[in-house]
């Protein structure tokens, strides 16, 4: 891959910061309007789509700037590093959100999630014992995922998810040089 006067680390960092701050912007707007929106299933799909779209756009832009070609391996590396930078920014933002901006937010998330879970399980006709056991798991999961240490402990799983997303985005970013079937 020719760099064409591009600093690879700088380009990855800029793209990762852009994706990370776009995610924070969406989260802050949602927090200001109505935080409960972020607990809906479609919100997760929306934010995931924005992230994937930005990574693909930035990857294609980078590919164009370096000469128009990137192998699948190079595009995977670019995508994964960009999403990793964004992910680290997101973890830092969530730690600040849950400990400084709104320390009561994890409890609100827990209550809303419990209400929605009970409502859904009752709709399926689940017994009270099953509902109680599920609620214990939900409470523990939210407690673990909203503390600074819990956010850090979950990062290996997040990185695995990013690797899977990078496999997808790389397919859209890559562009191999055409190989001539003509023998010279």
In SS3 terms, 60-127 reads as HHHHHHCCCCECHHHHHHHHHHHHHHHHHHHHHHHHHHHHHHCCCHHHHHHHHHHHHHHHHHHHCCCC
Of all residues in the chain, the percent with pLDDT exceeding 90 is 62
The dihedral through the CA atoms of 27, 28, 31, 33 has a sign that is negative
**Domain span including residue 53:** 8-173
183 in any annotated domain: no
What average pLDDT score do residues 25-40 get? Answer: 92
Query: Alpha carbon of 22 to those of 16, 136, 146, 158: distances in Å?
Result: 10, 34, 21, 18
Asked whether residue 41 is domain-assigned, the answer is: yes
Region 127-131 average pLDDT? 86
pLDDT of residue 184: 55
On the question of pLDDT at 109 being above 70, the answer is yes
Number of domains in the chain: 1
- Indicate whether 143 pLDDT > 90: no
Read off the pLDDT of each residue in 43-65 and give the average, rounded to a whole number: 96
For the residues 54-66, what does the mean pLDDT come to? 95
User: In 11-75, which ranges are E strands?
Assistant: none
Average pLDDT, the chain: 90
Residue 1's pLDDT is: 44
CA count, 13 A, side-chain hemisphere, 171? 6
Please report whether residue 182 resides in a domain. Answer: no
- What is the average per-residue pLDDT within 8-28? 96
Q: Is residue 137 part of a domain?
A: yes
Residue 152 lies in a domain: yes
pLDDT at residue number 24: 96
Q: Is residue 51 part of a domain?
A: yes
Confidence of residue 142 (pLDDT cuts 50, 70, 90): confident
């Amino acid at each position: 891959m020719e760099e064409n006067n591009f600093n690879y680390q700088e380009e990855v960092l800029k793209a990762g910061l852009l994706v990370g701050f776009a995610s924070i912007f969406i989260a802050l707007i949602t927090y200001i309007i109505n935080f409960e929106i972020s607990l809906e299933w479609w919100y997760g799909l929306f934010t995931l789509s924005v992230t994937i779209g930005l990574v693909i756009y930035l990857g294609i832009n980078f590919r164009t700037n370096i000469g128009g070609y990137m192998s699948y391996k190079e595009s995977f590396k670019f995508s994964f590093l960009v999403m990793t930078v964004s992910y680290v920014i997101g973890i830092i933002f969530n730690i600040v959100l849950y400990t400084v901006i709104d320390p009561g937010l994890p409890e609100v998330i827990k209550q809303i999630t419990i209400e929605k879970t009970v409502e859904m399980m009752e709709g399926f006709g689940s017994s009270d014992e099953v509902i109680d056991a599920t609620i214990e798991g939900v409470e523990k999961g939210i407690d673990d995922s909203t503390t600074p240490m819990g956010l850090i402990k979950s990062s290996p799983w997040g990185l695995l998810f990013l690797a899977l997303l990078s496999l997808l985005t790389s397919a859209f970013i890559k562009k191999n040089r055409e190989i001539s079937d003509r023998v010279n």
